[in-house]
A and B are shown apart, each in its own frame.
Chain A
Amino acid sequence: MIAVYIFICVLFTFFTYGYIDTNLHLSQSTFFLRLQQPLEALVFQMRPLATLIFFMALSSLFVLYEWFLKNSEKLFNLKKLFLFISGIALIFLFSFPAFSYDIFNYITTAKVTFFHKENPYLVMPVEIANEPYLAFTRAANKVALYGPVWILLTAIPHYLGAGDIWQTIIAFKFLNFFTYLLLSYLIYQMTKSVRSVLFFALNPLVLIEILISSHNDSTMMAFLLLGMLLWFSKGLGKKLIGLSAIFASMLIKGATIVVAPLLFMKNISKEKFLFYTYLLLAFVFFIAAPLREELYPWYAVWLVTIAACLDRKKYSLLIGFTMVLSFALELRHIPYMYMGYYEGVGPLARTLLTMIPIAIYGGYIGYKKVIKKS
């Protein structure tokens, strides 16, 4: 099964190269172009087939995810676990960020800051009209969308990229590779459970949104989790470092600011802190964020991370819901893949694809309860 899983991950990595923007030229190598062109044809000219491949890969990853969770204790000790997830992360490190343009926004904003030496909170990428990265950057007509800690962190991949776009993409993805492993480690520290680490690390939504599409939510959550871990440690020094890490998390993406009032609650236990964090982040995810923009799948990384730290038996319903939610949210990629545009029936299709699995799960839970009562 492990071999099958790795095989699917490798195939998925190849598949992502079909989604390279037509204005983005990663390499002039004929070998690369020969490999990439059929994939591009598959993705852009045979959309139904590409969508089917995505759906099958996604479903397989979810089925195997469930299998890994069931057999986690039998399959892995701590060393094997980290070796396995590092291997998976390494495969996806070389995937193309296929399902979102956000990474290009990070890259271009970093270039505005560290190459053009402009304040990204005042100067939009589009204002540097001759910037070549504009050809494949979306939302270039906005000033920096993220906090100063994130902007500072992007200096590392920006300079590692050395002006080469492919090298820069890999460097940005490496930052996520690192935060993914850090999160897995922190979850282990929090729970001492192999299963909890797998719940996070092999969740297909995490694999797709963090390791493939490289959203910065993993960095925000890594700082939050590190902060929480230290906040509940003994010693003032550790608590202060923990507080700083939580503050840094807020200055990455802002969503974790909802956790702030929990820091003022006296004698709150770690378990309650985690549960309330889940509720508050779920509120931002389901209510506040969609009111402003849309229900983005990668925001669920917040919930998956926290759910991984919760007690499996006590919060089984919430954990089950998070799993179903992550599957439902990944289905939101399907309408665009199939149609090639976001509008039209796209919003309705995305809503239905999200709601149906959740409704089925709700029905199943209700049915189980009725059976139990009778």
Chain B
Amino acid sequence: MDTREERKRDMKQIFVYVCIVTYLAFNIGHLSLIHAEYVLPYPSYMPGNKIYSVSRIMDKLKNYWYWGTIAQIKYHLSLSDKYLVEAKTLFEYKQYLLATDALSRSDAALADVSKLLEKGNKENKNMVQYEELIHNAMLVHLEKLEGMKELLPSEFTWTPEKKDATNLPIEQLLDRSILIRKNILIELQGRKQLFTNNIYL
């Protein structure tokens, strides 16, 4: 037979657990997936933060979680957005070396986007909404890049202590980033043309 105390202890444990379940019930499953017009994310962890290197590793690991063509598009686009925001913030704080690195990572993340759209079409998935999404994203990217170009010096020589100086062709790098995004927009336009001409159908 159980003693009263044992029962009391069991009930106490259950009560604590019930409280945790209530809390979780209110919080899990209420995540919203609503998208308004294209908005870039807030800046994430910046270089220098202890968690920054962890977040970079997480970014790489996420590549495995985001399997599937559509998920890969989401992954690459969100990564490009994240690094673009990181570059912008670092430029604003005159951390030019780090900023240019983030910018090139943002560009690199866009490298496969067009191929992924094509792959999606080959898999008979209707990719129109993703074409629109990327189109809107590229317009926002271009707006930010043009803004940065106006405010930043065209070149900068980064001279760290006890190390060799690095010449940073900021304007050239920004132009390259702009070109990458404009090329994507041109490709999207071509795709739209093909679509309306029923070549895909």
Interface of A with B (CB < 8 Å)?
116-119, 122-124, 127-130, 141, 143, 257-258, 261, 265, 268, 272, 276, 279-280, 283-284, 287-289, 291-292
A258 x B26 contact (CB < 8 A): no
Residues of B near A129 (CB, < 8 A) are 126, 128-129
Q: Supply 12 A–B pairs (Cβ within 8 Å), ascending by A.
A: A119-B68, A122-B68, A123-B68, A129-B129, A130-B124, A261-B17, A276-B14, A280-B18, A283-B18, A284-B21, A284-B25, A292-B25
Interface residue from B18, B26, B33, B68 paired with A143 (Cβ < 8 Å): B33
In Å, the complex CA distance between A272 and B24 comes to: 25
B129 x A291 contact (CB < 8 A): no
Please tell me which stretch of B69-77, B91-99, B140-148, B172-180 contacts chain A, meaning at least 4 of its Cβ atoms lie within 8 angstroms of it.
Answer: B69-77
B22 x A116 contact (CB < 8 A): no
A118 x B13 contact (CB < 8 A): no
Interface centre among B26, B70, B74, B124 (most CB of A within 10 A): B70
B18 to chain A, nearest CB (A): 5
Interface residue from B10, B17, B128 paired with A258 (Cβ < 8 Å): B17
Interface residue from A119, A128, A141, A258 paired with B21 (Cβ < 8 Å): A258
- B residues 97-131 near A (Cβ < 8 Å) are 123-126, 128-129
Given contacts A122-B66, A127-B70, contact A279 B14 (CB under 8 A): yes
Interface size class of B (residues with CB under 8 A): 20 to 34
Interface of B with A (CB < 8 Å)?
2, 10, 13-14, 17-18, 21-22, 24-26, 29-30, 33, 65-71, 74, 123-126, 128-129
B18 x A130 contact (CB < 8 A): no
Residues of A near B69 (CB, < 8 A) are 117-118
Given contacts A118-B69, A283-B21, contact A276 B10 (CB under 8 A): yes
A265 x B70 contact (CB < 8 A): no
B17 x A280 contact (CB < 8 A): yes
In Å, the complex CA distance between A268 and B6 comes to: 10
In Å, the complex CA distance between A29 and B175 comes to: 63
In Å, the complex CA distance between A117 and B66 comes to: 11
Closest to B17 in A: A261
B103 to chain A, nearest CB (A): 26
In Å, the complex CA distance between A124 and B33 comes to: 10
Interface residue from A128, A261, A268 paired with B70 (Cβ < 8 Å): A128
Given A118-B71, A289-B25, 9 extra CB contacts under 8 A: A119-B68, A261-B14, A265-B10, A280-B14, A284-B21, A291-B22, A291-B25, A292-B25, A292-B29
A291 x B14 contact (CB < 8 A): no
In Å, the complex CA distance between A292 and B21 comes to: 12
A190 to chain B, nearest CB (A): 21
A95 to chain B, nearest CB (A): 30
B191 to chain A, nearest CB (A): 16
In Å, the complex CA distance between A128 and B123 comes to: 11
Residues of A near B124 (CB, < 8 A) are 130
B71 x A128 contact (CB < 8 A): no
In Å, the complex CA distance between A287 and B68 comes to: 37
Residues of A near B126 (CB, < 8 A) are 128-130
In Å, the complex CA distance between A113 and B29 comes to: 20
In Å, the complex CA distance between A283 and B74 comes to: 38
A282 to chain B, nearest CB (A): 11
A130 x B26 contact (CB < 8 A): no
Residues of A near B22 (CB, < 8 A) are 287-288, 291
Interface residue from B21, B123, B129 paired with A288 (Cβ < 8 Å): B21
B123 x A116 contact (CB < 8 A): yes
Residues of B near A127 (CB, < 8 A) are 70, 129
In Å, the complex CA distance between A272 and B21 comes to: 20
Closest to A123 in B: B70
B73 to chain A, nearest CB (A): 10
Closest 4 pairs (CB-CB, A-B): A118-B68, A288-B25, A130-B126, A129-B126
B67 x A117 contact (CB < 8 A): yes
Interface residue from A117, A257, A288, A291 paired with B68 (Cβ < 8 Å): A117
In Å, the complex CA distance between A279 and B123 comes to: 48
Residues of B near A279 (CB, < 8 A) are 14
Closest to B23 in A: A288
Residues of B near A117 (CB, < 8 A) are 67-69, 123
